[in-house]
Amino acid sequence: MTDRQGTVAALGESTLTGWRGAVGNAVAKPVAKRTRFTEEQIRVALGLALLAYGLYRVLWPPIRALMRSR
């Protein structure tokens, strides 16, 4: 694993805290059993998806406001 992959994995894993982590762990085990991905890869993907959704929810309203003002 390269340093960049480790950084992305750490970012994805760090997103899964609290109830999100519990859900991520509960989902990762059965999905990993049925796919070729590891539990860690599933947790990282879920964490990154939650991070992307959070950024979308925070950044989209000001972007939309800027687009409407033009």
Rounded to two decimals, what is the model's pTM? 0.79
pLDDT at 5: 78
pLDDT at 14: 85
Measured between alpha carbons, how far is 16 from 67 in angstroms, rounded to an integer?
33
pLDDT at 37: 95
Structure tokens at 56: 């979308």
Per-domain residue ranges of the chain: 3-69
Half-sphere exposure of 52 (CA within 13 A, CB side): 8
Q: Digits of tens for pLDDT over the chain (70 positions)?
A: 567 778 888 888 888 888 888 988 899 999 999 999 999 999 999 999 999 999 999 999 999 999 998 7
pLDDT at 1: 58
- In the 8-state DSSP scheme, what is residue 6? H
- DSSP of 7-54: HHHHHHHHH--THHHHHHHHHHHHHHHHSSS-HHHHHHHHHHHHHHHH
